[in-house]
Amino acid sequence: MATNVVMPQMGESIAEGTIVRWIKKVGDSVDRDEPLFEISTDKVDAEIPSPSAGVLTEIKVKEGETVPVNSVVAVIGAAGEAPVSGENGTGDDASAMPAAAVGQQETSTPSKGVRIDDRSAASDARPSGAAAPGETSTPAAASRQSGGTVSREELRRQKSSPLVRRIAKEHDVDIQQIQGTGISGRVTKTDILGFIESGTSAQPAAPAPPQAARPAPGPVYKPGENVQIVPMSVMRRKIAEHMVLSAHTSPHVYSVYEVNFGRITALREKKKAAYETAGSKLTFTGFIAKAVVDALRQFPMVNASIDGDNIVYKKEINLGIAVALENGLIVPVIRNADEKNLLGLSRGINDLALRARSKKLNPDEVQGGTFTITNPGIFGALYGLPLINQPQVAILGVGTIEKRAVVIDDAIAIRPMCNLSLGYDHRLIDGAEAGRFLSFIKERLENFDEGWM
């Protein structure tokens, strides 16, 4: 019996995924849980294991193609079964396959269309012609009921956060009627509350007003010029999207402090062997993370977000650590970092960095950060001016640690020095508050108590 392989839902808000690479080819034998293909989503890249053992008989979605979650991307047949005929065994009818649970056996009479609703993709399937109880009749709903496919924009609106969907259910609002302002058109909490307050929940969303035309940039290259054009990878496109969003959202301001790492260097040399015995590397990043966590306790405004005209103070300190990958950047999160000592932070940093580079992170491990540390200094930069990781309001950049001549007690001395830069959202944080925050970190690092380890 053939088994469908589907695009998994790698998180509650993730609506689609892109096939980056097929690890196995048509005709290859595959064991259960053996890596089968690699995907890229809004949140994370990951290798997807095979749901069953057998032979990969058909690939329905080519590398580089993006499909909704729960779409069938391949078929695994029994051992010895012949591959499906066609070029490379790749079919062109993936969009016509039914949504199936991972590992579901393929039936001989599949229903038409891809059924996607605004609940979790793991919910029980129902016939495509039957509407859910209380489901609002809309063109998109009619399309689903008649077996048609759901457009990507409709899908993104449906795949909003659980909070948004709960509010929509309580107020009998069809999310598809709302023009989303979130990433990729997703409906945010602000969008749905504004929609409800406007009293237009029974009316279709009005088309967005036309935006003033921006002056077109000059040509990137001239005809006949010697250039090479390469499409952006999925990760590169997502990074570009988030960086443009951040630049357009927050008025960025920066402060840079120079910190003497003499005390940290001495403690690291003293404790490095003991930490390795405990199964963790003691790095400078661990010391910085500990000082940052202590500073965030003292300055809660830096651990906040902006929601319209409201300030949202985060009670948890979830520390993002930027990790450079071969073709991009990812920011895994250490949750409840304020509950960990230096050893716990060091273990968390090492574990997340290792799994980020081997593409073993889970989606929830790259979400929910409240503050981010990035380290351009590992590449030799004196300091960096990073963009804020939205919806956070600040980010710390760590410069290279190098020996410099400094004046100590009216004498010139050689000390390991490092520049720490704080990028912050000037809508919420003023220069004085940023200065106090950085001064606290500087004092902690220059006078680090061995008891804090």
What are the residue numbers of the active site?
426, 430
- Residue 391: cis peptide before it, omega within 30 degrees of 0: yes
The whole-angstrom separation of Cα 442 and Cα 261 is: 9
Which DSSP state fits 201?
T
- Structure tokens given for 94: 């993936």
User: What does the DSSP assignment read for 66-126?
Assistant: EEETT-EEEEEE-TTPPPPSSGGGB-S-GGGSPP--TTPBPPSSPPSS----SS-TTSPP-
The whole-angstrom separation of Cα 95 and Cα 87 is: 18
Q: Could you tell me where the beta strands, DSSP code E, fall in 335-445?
A: 371-374, 394-398, 402-408, 411-425
Q: Which residues, in sequence order, are CB contacts of 427 under 8 Å at separation 6+?
A: 250, 251, 306, 393
For the CA atoms of 436, 439, 443, 446, what is the dihedral angle to 10 degrees?
A: 170
How many residues in total does the chain contain?
A: 453
Nearest to 302 by CA among 187, 123, 408, 425: 425
CB 97 within 8 A of CB 71: yes
